[in-house]
């Protein structure tokens, strides 16, 4: 399996045409098996145990997240959730004892999963595998894996769902390759925090509740932003200095990564004084979600700008799925973890993808059998899926207003003109480097909270792809949108311009963090799983984006895709936030 970060870059060269780069989708899984592993080397792994009552847990989540329910906001504790779903204590204890008896150590029983370490020779005996050293073409280090299917000890076959850390080869992000940017219908000015704050009416100078928080989650070896860059960003954009209050997982600040840099700079700038968490993950969604759920003190909002098609979560050879598990089973297990996280009162957001409706399943626009694909976690019903818009070329009135306000511009606009338009359209290639993703999940049925809007879309008379290409009875995504074109970030002290639903997700996450601040200041619970609230909000809470489609990808346009229209659509969702009206609605809730 390959996983992509949802971001494309334009490198700025002085007085030269803008060059852009976008991720290349080849060469992700170039692992080579080398020598047999040292039998004494230590491996960390985790064992996911089968859960009970997930259907009950889901109805509890929907109840506490429904603004009309008298249980609204009554979130559950970790213990209460595990009491409902975890296997009986004596069963997990048996697995712990078995692992310890066979040489495992540091064994942690988290009730519905077990984390442990063991030497290679013990792993080989327990799971009937041969462990090898693997090297990747683009990584200096080596890792130890079996690269082949493991065997669950027979007495635990009904209890253990999957084991991670032993067989699967992790996904390595490819280096971006240059591409030319065409400028046409879009505003060519850069987007800075003030562009977003002005457009959505997001207040500045916000003195947040000191417990409000926003977390940026990063995957693969994408583990760094540079603290010096935050200083330069603050000076150049005239915004308050961003302080990252919590770092979880491996971090190296010397070699800033563009995805992490974007997430921290725009999530942090829009959320103002909220606590900013930076959480790096060794592994993929199951590792993240299971660790996050089990952590006592966690941030209340998480943005994930990462994804890959739902149906490709178990791509052969490398991937999360072993032992005959299907992509659908992997997606369902992670969705169960997302339900648990939502029930704790945490909002999860994910980018809706950068390759339009064709998605990473058909980035070259040539697949006749399956021309549309989805994204995970962006198509999960338990995340708020965020799509991208862009500013259209400025009108004469926009230009006049910008001229008047030129004195208020921060220093960054001097060398690189800032955007002046105030009208949003669908973010799409070839005017942007990406096309916003959207469509219908392959696996999850349409949730009740969006049923009315999805039905209205399907019966609105907009042209739809032929019915065999998408599952119209399923969850539609995205839910909402925010700007996703031409953001200016500071990486290694340089200005870089980036495009992506990667821009949109942390910005909408920051809006949720500010709304949470209001809730906390008024002794109300955090917003948690926010989709039922978004779909029940008055239409004035969003600017509806009604023109454009998502038939293109990052490099071509397909015949297949969805068209934006009045109301919710699988292109820009409900639209972009009108902060004042969204807050007014939140203020009416318990």
Active site residue 167: no
569 is in an annotated binding site: yes
For residues 71 and 518, give the distance between their C-alpha atoms in angstroms, rounded to a whole number: 20
Token digits for 425? 């359209």
User: What does DSSP assign to residue 211?
Assistant: T
CB 224 within 8 A of CB 251: yes
What is the distance between the alpha carbons of residues 363 and 435, in angstroms, rounded to a whole number? 11
Q: Which of 259, 310, 362, 398 is catalytic?
A: 259
Which position among 222, 263, 287, 554 bears the catalytic label? 263
For residue 310, give Cα distances in angstroms to 445, 476, 546: 14, 14, 27
Evaluate whether 394 touches 402 at the Cβ level (below 8 Å).
yes
Q: What is the DSSP letter of 55?
A: H
Only segment of 109-117, 193-201, 207-215, 350-358 that touches ligand NAG (CB under 6 A): 207-215
β-partners of residue 21 are: 9, 178
| H helix or E strand, kind and range, residue 79 | helix 78-85
Output the smallest distance, CB 202 to ligand NAG, in A: 21
CB of 441 to ligand NAG, least distance (A): 7
Residue 260 three-state SS: helix
**Which residue lies nearer to ligand NAG by CB, 474 or 502?**
474
Closest distance of CB 147 from ligand NAG, Å? 32
d(CA 581, CA 542): 8
Q: Which is nearer to ligand NAG, 7 or 520 (CB)?
A: 520
Stretch that binds ligand NAG, among 126-134, 205-213, 380-388, 456-464 (CB under 6 A): 205-213
421 vs 474, beta carbon nearer ligand NAG: 474
d(CA 272, CA 507): 11
Tokens of 58: 């889901």
Gap between the Cα atoms of 307 and 371, Å rounded:
18
Query: Cα–Cα distance between 105 and 97 in angstroms, integer?
Result: 10
Q: How far is the CB of 482 from ligand NAG (least distance, A)?
A: 27
Nearer to ligand NAG, 206 or 542 (CB): 206
Measured CA to CA, the distance from residue 568 to residue 438 in angstroms comes to 12
Contact between 209 and ligand NAG (CB under 6 A)?
yes
Identified binder of ligand NAG from the candidate list 211, 246, 423, 546, rule CB under 6 A: 211
Say whether residue 486 binds ligand NAG (CB under 6 A).
no
Active site residue 83: no
CB of 358 to ligand NAG, least distance (A): 18
Give min distance, CB of 212 to ligand NAG, in A.
Answer: 9
Comparing CB distances to ligand NAG, the nearer of 167 and 275 is 275
Question: Which residues on neighbouring strands pair with residue 303, listed in sequence order?
Answer: 216, 349
CA 317 to chain centre: 24
Quote the least distance from Cβ 379 to ligand NAG, whole Å: 12
Considering only residues 444-483, where is the footprint of ligand NAG by CB under 6 A? 445, 471, 473-474
Pairing of strands 494-499, 487-491: antiparallel
Give the separation between CA 456 and CA 499, rounded to whole angstroms: 31
436 binds ligand NAG (CB under 6 A): no
Q: What separation in angstroms does the CA of 324 have from each of 150, 319, 321?
A: 10, 12, 7
Token pair 């949470």 is at which residue?
516
Q: Provide the minimum distance between the beta carbon of 471 and ligand NAG in the complex, in angstroms, as a whole number.
A: 4
- Set 502, 504, 505, 558: catalytic member: 502
- The token pair that represents 99 in the structure block: 């692992």
Q: Which region, judged by CB under 6 A, interacts with ligand NAG, from 31-39, 204-212, 370-378, 492-500?
A: 204-212
Contacts 24+ apart (CB under 8 A), 139-142: 139/172, 139/221, 142/34
Measure the CA–CA gap between 216 and 227, rounded to whole angstroms.
Answer: 15
Count CA within 13 A, CB hemisphere, residue 163: 27
User: Nearer Cβ to ligand NAG, position 520 or 564?
Assistant: 520
20 vs 275, beta carbon nearer ligand NAG: 275
The answer to whether residues 355 and 312 touch, using CB atoms and an 8 Å cutoff, is no
User: Is residue 544 annotated as involved in ligand binding?
Assistant: yes
Q: By CB under 6 A, is residue 520 in contact with ligand NAG?
A: yes
**208 interacts with ligand NAG by CB under 6 A:** no
Alpha-carbon distance of 545 to 562, in angstroms, equals 13
Rounded CA-CA distance 280/265 in Å is: 16
Cβ neighbour number for residue 250 with a 10 Å cutoff: 12
425 vs 520, beta carbon nearer ligand NAG = 520
Owner of token pair 């190296």: 252
List all residues 6 or more positions away from 100 whose beta carbon is below 8 Å from its beta carbon. Answer: 107
Rule CB under 6 A: choose which of 26, 180, 210, 566 binds ligand NAG.
210
| In the complex, least distance from residue 487 CB atom to ligand NAG, rounded to whole angstroms | 32
Which lies closer to ligand NAG via its Cβ, residue 211 or residue 539? 211
Would residue 77 show up in a list of annotated catalytic residues for this protein? Answer: no
Catalytic residues: 259, 263, 502
The binding site comprises 544-545, 567, 569
Binding site per annotation, positions for Ca(2+): 544-545, 567, 569
Residues engaged in binding ligand NAG (CB under 6 A)? 209-211, 443, 445, 471, 473-474, 520
């Amino acid at each position: 399996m390959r996983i992509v970060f949802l971001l494309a870059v334009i490198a700025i060269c002085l007085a030269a045409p803008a060059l852009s780069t976008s991720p290349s989708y080849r060469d992700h899984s170039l692992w080579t098996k080398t020598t047999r592993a040292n039998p004494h080397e230590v491996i960390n792994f985790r064992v996911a145990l089968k859960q009970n009552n997930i259907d009950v847990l889901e109805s509890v989540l929907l109840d506490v997240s429904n603004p009309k329910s008298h249980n609204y906001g009554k979130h559950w504790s970790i213990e209460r959730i595990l009491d409902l779903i975890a296997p009986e204590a004596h069963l997990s204890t048996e697995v712990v004892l078995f692992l310890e008896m066979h040489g495992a150590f540091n064994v942690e029983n988290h009730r519905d999963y077990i984390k442990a370490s063991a030497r290679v020779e013990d792993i080989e005996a327990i799971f009937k595998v041969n462990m090898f050293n693997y090297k990747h073409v683009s990584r200096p280090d080596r890792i130890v894996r079996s690269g082949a299917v493991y065997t669950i000890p027979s007495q635990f076959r009904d209890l253990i769902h999957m084991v991670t850390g032993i067989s699967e080869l992790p996904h390595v992000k490819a280096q971006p390759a240059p591409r030319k940017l065409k400028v046409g219908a879009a505003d060519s000015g850069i987007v800075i925090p003030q562009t977003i704050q002005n457009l959505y009416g997001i207040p500045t100078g916000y003195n947040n509740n000191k417990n409000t928080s926003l977390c940026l989650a990063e995957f693969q070896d994408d583990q760094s932003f540079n603290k010096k860059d935050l200083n330069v960003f603050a000076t150049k954009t005239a915004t308050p200095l961003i302080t990252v209050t919590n770092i979880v997982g491996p971090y190296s600040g010397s070699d800033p990564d563009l995805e992490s840099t974007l997430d921290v700079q725009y999530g942090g700038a829009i959320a103002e004084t909220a606590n900013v968490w930076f959480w790096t993950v060794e592994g993929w969604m199951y590792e993240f979600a299971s660790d996050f759920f089990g952590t006592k003190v966690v941030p209340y909002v998480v943005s994930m700008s990462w994804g890959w098609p739902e149906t490709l979560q178990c791509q052969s050879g490398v991937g999360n799925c072993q032992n005959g598990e299907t992509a659908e089973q992997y997606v369902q297990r992670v969705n169960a973890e997302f339900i648990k996280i939502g029930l704790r009162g945490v909002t999860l957001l994910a980018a809706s993808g950068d390759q339009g409706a064709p998605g990473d399943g058909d980035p070259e626009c040539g697949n006749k059998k399956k021309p549309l694909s989805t994204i995970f976690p962006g198509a999960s019903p338990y995340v708020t899926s965020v799509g991208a818009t862009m500013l259209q070329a400025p009108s004469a009135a926009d230009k006049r207003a910008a001229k008047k306000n030129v004195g208020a511009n921060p220093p960054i606009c001097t060398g690189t003109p800032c955007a002046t338009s105030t009208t949003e359209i669908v973010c799409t290639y070839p005017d942007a480097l990406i096309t916003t993703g959207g469509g219908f999940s392959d696996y999850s049925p349409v949730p009740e909270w969006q049923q009315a809007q999805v039905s209205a879309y399907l019966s609105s008379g907009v042209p739809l792809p032929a019915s065999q290409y998408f599952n119209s009875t399923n969850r539609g995504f995205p839910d909402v949108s925010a700007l996703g074109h031409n953001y200016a970030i500071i990486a290694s002290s340089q200005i870089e311009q980036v495009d992506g639903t990667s821009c949109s997700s942390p910005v909408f996450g920051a809006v949720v963090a500010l709304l949470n601040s209001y809730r906390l200041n008024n002794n109300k619970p955090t917003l948690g799983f926010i989709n039922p609230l978004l779909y029940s909000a008055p239409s004035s809470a969003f600017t509806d984006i009604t023109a454009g489609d998502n038939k293109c990808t990052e490099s071509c346009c397909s015949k297949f895709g969805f068209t934006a229209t009045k109301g919710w659509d699988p292109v820009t969702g409900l639209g972009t936030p009108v902060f004042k009206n969204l807050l007014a609605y939140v203020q009416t809730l318990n």
